[in-house]
């Protein structure tokens, strides 16, 4: 096991003191330690998406001639392929980047279905992209990591090549995990339950990755309700609103509820403009905003710097609402019953979640099949 503090100090000694990325539970020990550091000369930005993190590292290299570290979960490697292949590669600009990649779905290790394919292709994909890799395991020592960096990675970085540390779960040690809170009183699970109740029997719910979908599934289970009208987007973080838009356009007589998170929406904010331009009257886009990547360890997002109501309105949403208490959310849901979409609702929620929160007991394919069957039933009455 590698100490997050030792790894951080090691990087600083090798003049790697700028960090860009998207948080990951596998890297939580390092991400927590990094978030606690305020050393002079250290740069750290939690990026909107993984490709943006590579772009930040590229800009840093152009400005200073130095390499930065980009951290991400392997599910985000798809987002880095474009800038890696068309910008940082030696065939183009030759911009060196050190990657720290959490390895979900490692072959032979039980994991969630959305990680299986990505886990199996992680190392081959990095090899295809021309990166030297080293896997950090629970058995790895800081001496092992230093040896690989000094005798392999460093020479490649000088040539403008990139290199990647791929980290197995539980390989980073950090004695003081971060405890994060915000000032909001509305519990996200309460908000999800209220939204599920507000959706009519013929309404459709499309929910984003992480705990939002888990809480929706759990609520249906508690009420012994069917899950067939919910599509749980367990992967493809940031794309839930485009899924919901396509469903809404092809089932205009059903109301579609898109349950989004701030980390997800920040990843692809251009989706707001697409939704506004298409103007689906039956779409309600709900942002459950807690200012954090809470499902991936709680690292902060910049969502509190964003005026979501002004942006969604400027993109063409017909109505916008904000709620920070349960009563305000109830009032908002009464109002939107008579409004045409697209409608944007921001619910400001806290960082609380149950430690015993389960995961969906149905597979992603089962969810897809039952969802399609539900959609193929006779559509509900046209929304007036």
Question: What tens digit of pLDDT does each residue of 82-134 get?
Answer: 999 999 999 999 999 999 999 999 998 888 888 889 999 999 999 999 999 99
Q: DSSP for 236-277?
A: STT-HHHHHHHHHHH-TTS-EEEEEEHHHHHHTTHHHHHHHH
Identify the CA nearest to 164 among candidates 176, 156, 175, 174: 156
**Block residue for tokens 């990166």:** 131
Q: Are strands 292-293 and 299-300 parallel, antiparallel or unpaired?
A: antiparallel
Q: Is residue 381 part of a domain?
A: no
C-alpha to C-alpha distances, 187 to 8, 107, 194, 241, 351, nearest whole angstrom = 34, 36, 11, 22, 8
The tens-digit pLDDT sequence of the chain (384 residues) is 899 999 999 999 999 999 999 999 899 889 888 888 877 789 999 999 999 999 999 999 999 999 999 999 999 999 999 999 999 999 999 999 999 999 999 998 888 888 889 999 999 999 999 999 999 999 999 999 999 999 999 999 999 999 999 999 889 887 666 667 788 989 999 999 999 999 988 999 999 988 999 999 999 999 999 899 999 998 888 999 999 999 999 999 999 999 999 999 999 999 999 999 999 999 999 999 998 887 766 688 999 999 999 999 999 999 999 999 999 999 999 999 999 999 999 999 998 878 888 888 889 999 999 999 999 885 544 433
Q: DSSP for 63-85?
A: HHS--EEEEEEGGGHHHHHHHII
CA distance 122 to 135: 11
Residues 141 and 41 in one domain: yes
Residues 258 and 360 in one domain: yes
- φ, ψ for residue 132, nearest 5 deg: -75, 135
Q: Which CATH number belongs to the domain containing residue 157 in this structure?
A: 3.40.50.970
Q: Is residue 351 part of a domain?
A: yes
End-to-end CA distance of the chain: 60
Number of domains in the chain: 2
Q: Which residue(s) pair with 321 in the sheet?
A: 345
Q: Is residue 383 part of a domain?
A: no
Residues 140 and 46 in one domain: yes
Asked whether 254 and 202 are in contact (CB, 8 A), the reply is: yes
Identify the CA nearest to 255 among candidates 341, 145, 365, 144: 341
- φ, ψ for residue 230, nearest 5 deg: -110, 130
Q: Is residue 65 part of a domain?
A: yes
**Block residue for tokens 């409608």:** 343
- Please compute, for residue 320, the number of CA atoms within 13 A of its CA located in the half-sphere on the CB side: 15
pLDDT tens across 57-85, in order?
Answer: 999 999 999 999 999 999 999 999 999 99
Q: Is residue 328 part of a domain?
A: yes
Residues 106 and 81 in one domain: yes
Q: Which two tokens stand for residue 356?
A: 């015993």
Q: Is residue 360 part of a domain?
A: yes
Residues 157 and 199 in one domain: no
Asked whether 215 and 259 are in contact (CB, 8 A), the reply is: no
Residues 204 and 168 in one domain: no
Asked whether 111 and 103 are in contact (CB, 8 A), the reply is: no
Residues 124 and 208 in one domain: no
Domain coverage including residue 103 = 2-173
How many C-beta atoms surround the C-beta of residue 320 within 10 A?
A: 18
The predicted pLDDT at position 337 comes to: 94
Q: Would you say the C-alpha torsion 265, 271, 272, 278 has a positive or negative sign?
A: negative
- In degrees, to the nearest 5, what angle opens at C-alpha 93 toward C-alphas 89 and 96? 60
Domain boundary among 173, 201, 231: 173
3-state secondary structure of 284: strand
Residues 46 and 164 in one domain: yes
Residues 155 and 201 in one domain: no
Q: Is residue 142 part of a domain?
A: yes
pTM of the model: 0.89
CA distance 106 to 117: 9
């Amino acid at each position: 096991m590698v100490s997050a503090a030792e790894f951080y100090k090691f990087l600083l000694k090798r003049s790697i003191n700028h960090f860009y990325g998207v948080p990951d539970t596998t890297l939580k020990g390092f991400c927590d330690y990094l978030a606690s550091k305020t050393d002079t000369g250290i740069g750290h930005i939690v990026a909107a998406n993984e490709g943006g993190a590579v772009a930040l590292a590229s800009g840093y290299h152009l400005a200073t001639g130095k390499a930065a570290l980009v951290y991400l979960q392997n599910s985000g490697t798809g987002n880095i392929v474009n800038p890696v292949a068309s910008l940082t590669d030696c065939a183009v600009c030759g911009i060196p980047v050190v990657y720290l990649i959490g390895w979900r779905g490692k072959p032979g290790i039980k994991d969630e279905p959305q990680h299986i394919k990505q886990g199996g292709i992680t190392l081959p994909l990095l090899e295809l992209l021309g990166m030297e890799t080293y896997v950090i395991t629970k058995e790895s020592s800081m001496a092992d990591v230093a040896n690989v960096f000094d005798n392999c990675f460093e020479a490649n970085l000088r040539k403008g090549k990139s290199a990647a540390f791929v980290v197995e779960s539980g390989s980073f040690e950090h004695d003081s995990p971060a405890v994060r809170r915000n000032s909001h009183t509305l519990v996200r699970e309460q908000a999800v339950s209220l939204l599920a109740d507000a959706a009519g029997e013929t309404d459709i719910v499309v929910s984003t990755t992480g705990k939002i979908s888990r809480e929706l599934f759990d609520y249906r289970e508690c009420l012994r309700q069917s899950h067939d009208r919910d599509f749980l987007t367990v992967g493809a973080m940031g794309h839930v609103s485009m899924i919901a838009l396509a469903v809404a356009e092809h089932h205009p007589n059903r109301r579609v509820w898109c349950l989004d998170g701030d980390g997800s929406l920040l990843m692809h904010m251009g989706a707001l403009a697409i939704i506004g331009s298409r103007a689906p009257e039956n779409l309600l886009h709900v942002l459950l905003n807690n200012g954090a990547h809470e499902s991936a360890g709680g690292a902060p997002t910049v969502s509190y710097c964003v005026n979501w109501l002004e942006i969604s309105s400027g993109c063409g949403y017909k109505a916008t609402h904000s709620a920070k208490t349960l009563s305000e959310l109830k009032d908002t849901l009464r109002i939107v019953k008579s409004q045409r979409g697209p409608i944007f609702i921001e619910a400001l929620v806290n960082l609380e979640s149950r430690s015993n929160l389960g995961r969906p007991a149905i597979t992603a394919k089962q969810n897809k099949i039952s969802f399609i069957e539900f959609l193929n039933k006779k559509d509900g009455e046209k929304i007036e």
